[in-house]
Structures are given as structure tokens and as C-alpha cells.
């Protein structure tokens, strides 16, 4: 009996350690882009605007600006922000889940790595939503489906122009006020 209990505890500890180590890889996704930085951003922006479901661009941020202002040097990193009031509305109306506003707007990161390639990083919205009950799980499942459309590119179509935000304070923020969450 003692061997069984010891084996069970050791197995649970192993599973816990394994889950802890894999969590980051499950919560976020990264994929290479076949295009350069600005073209990748422009294609994502266009896909957001064409997806429907109330999605609108709400900003384009350069988090590297603060590092550069502090004397540092980083490879290019841009954050595309978008929001859908169709999805944010039900979450913002409920007191017990309003804290999830921290996840709004939806962000997609486009960045260059030392290998010279451009990558797209996103939160796994579908998996994240499942952790917060059926309402949030359903909503975030829809968000995840739309996010997949945001980063699906048709290379046969010409690149659209990049949507640059209107000048604003806050480290490169800006964009269409109607799209803000």
C-alpha cells in the first residue's frame, strides 16, 4: 500500500512539473511570417478589418521605443491591438469576470529575431478562455477562431498599406477610437 501511495504522489508531482514547464508553450503561440515586418503588420491589420464580428483596430504600439529611449537597442517589435465589442461587451458587463478586461484589447505581436526572420506571437485565447467558465470559454473560442483568420495570409494578393496610428501620447498608442476597448 505504501508503494502505491508513494508511486501516486511521485506521479502527481511529475505531472505537475511537466504541466508547469509546458504551460508557457500552451498559453502563447509563435509562428514565422513569410513577409517582412511592415507587410506582416499590414496584412494582419487588413484581416482584422475584414473579419467582421465587430473587430476594429485600436492601436499599433512599439514597445521597443521605451528601451531605445533608455539607451538600449532591441530588434523591431510591434504590437497590433484590436477589439470586438461583440466579444468584449458581455465580459465587461459581468462583475465577476470584468477583471478579464486586462486582456483587452486583443494583441498580436510582430517581431524580428536574431535569425533575421519575422515572427507573429499571440495568446492562445481559446485555451485561456476555458479557464474562466462557460461564458468566457465560449466567447474566447470565437476570439481564437477570428485570431486564426487574422494571421492567415493570401500571398497571391498584393500587400495592403500599413495602418499607422494617429499621433498620441502613451508610447506609440493611437488608432481608431471607435475600435478601443
Of the candidates 106, 177, 110, 179, the one whose C-alpha atom is nearest the C-alpha of residue 139 is 106
Return contacts of 29-34, CB within 8 angstroms, 24+ apart.
Answer: 29/121, 29/122, 29/123, 29/124, 30/119, 30/120, 30/121, 31/119, 31/120, 31/151, 32/117, 32/118, 32/119, 32/120, 33/110, 33/117, 33/118, 33/119, 33/120, 33/153, 34/153, 34/155
Do the domain assignments include residue 22? Answer: no
More confident residue, 18 or 59: 59
> What pLDDT is stored for residue 90 in this prediction?
94
User: Residue 13's pLDDT is what?
Assistant: 61
In a domain? residue 17 = no
Give a yes or no: residue 89 inside a domain. Answer: yes
Question: pLDDT tier at 91 (50, 70, 90 boundaries)?
Answer: very high
Whether pLDDT at 52 is above 50: yes
Q: Is 110 exposed, middle or buried (0-12, 13-18, 19+ CB in 10 A)?
A: buried
Q: Is 163 within the bounds of a domain?
A: yes
pLDDT at 81: 96
CATH code of the domain in which 53 resides:
3.30.310.70
- Cα separation of 107 and 173, whole Å? 13
> What domain range is 168 assigned to?
27-179
Domain count along the chain: 1
pLDDT digits (tens, 9 = 90+) for 100-149: 999 889 999 999 999 999 999 999 988 888 889 999 999 999 999 999 99
Q: How many helices (H) and strands (E) does the chain have?
A: 6, 5
Is residue 132 included in any domain, yes or no? yes
Residue 55 has pLDDT above 90, yes or no: yes
Q: What would the mean pLDDT of 70-83 be, rounded to a whole number? A: 94
Task: Say what the pLDDT of residue 157 is.
Answer: 93
Radius of gyration of the chain (CA): 19
Digit-coded pLDDT (tens) for 148-166? 999 999 999 999 999 987 6
| pLDDT confidence of residue 128 | 86
Is 35 domain-assigned? yes
21-44 pLDDT, tens digit per residue, is 555 567 899 999 999 999 999 999
Amino acid at each position: 500500500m505504501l508503494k502505491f501511495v508513494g508511486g501516486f504522489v511521485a506521479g502527481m508531482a511529475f505531472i505537475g512539473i511537466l504541466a508547469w514547464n509546458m504551460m508557457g508553450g500552451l498559453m502563447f503561440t509563435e509562428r514565422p511570417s513569410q513577409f517582412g515586418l511592415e507587410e506582416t503588420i499590414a496584412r494582419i491589420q487588413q484581416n482584422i478589418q475584414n473579419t467582421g464580428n465587430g473587430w476594429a483596430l485600436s492601436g499599433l504600439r512599439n514597445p521597443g521605443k521605451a528601451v531605445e529611449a533608455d539607451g538600449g537597442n532591441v530588434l523591431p517589435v510591434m504590437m497590433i491591438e484590436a477589439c470586438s465589442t461583440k466579444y468584449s461587451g458581455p465580459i465587461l458587463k459581468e462583475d465577476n469576470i470584468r477583471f478579464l478586461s486586462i486582456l483587452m484589447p486583443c494583441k498580436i505581436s510582430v517581431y524580428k529575431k536574431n535569425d533575421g526572420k519575422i515572427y507573429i506571437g499571440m495568446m492562445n485565447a481559446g485555451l485561456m478562455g476555458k479557464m474562466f467558465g462557460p461564458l468566457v470559454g465560449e466567447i474566447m473560442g470565437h476570439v481564437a477562431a477570428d485570431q486564426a483568420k487574422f494571421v492567415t495570409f493570401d500571398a497571391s494578393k498584393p500587400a495592403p498599406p500599413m495602418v499607422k496610428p494617429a499621433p498620441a501620447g502613451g508610447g506609440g498608442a493611437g488608432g481608431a477610437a471607435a475600435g478601443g476597448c
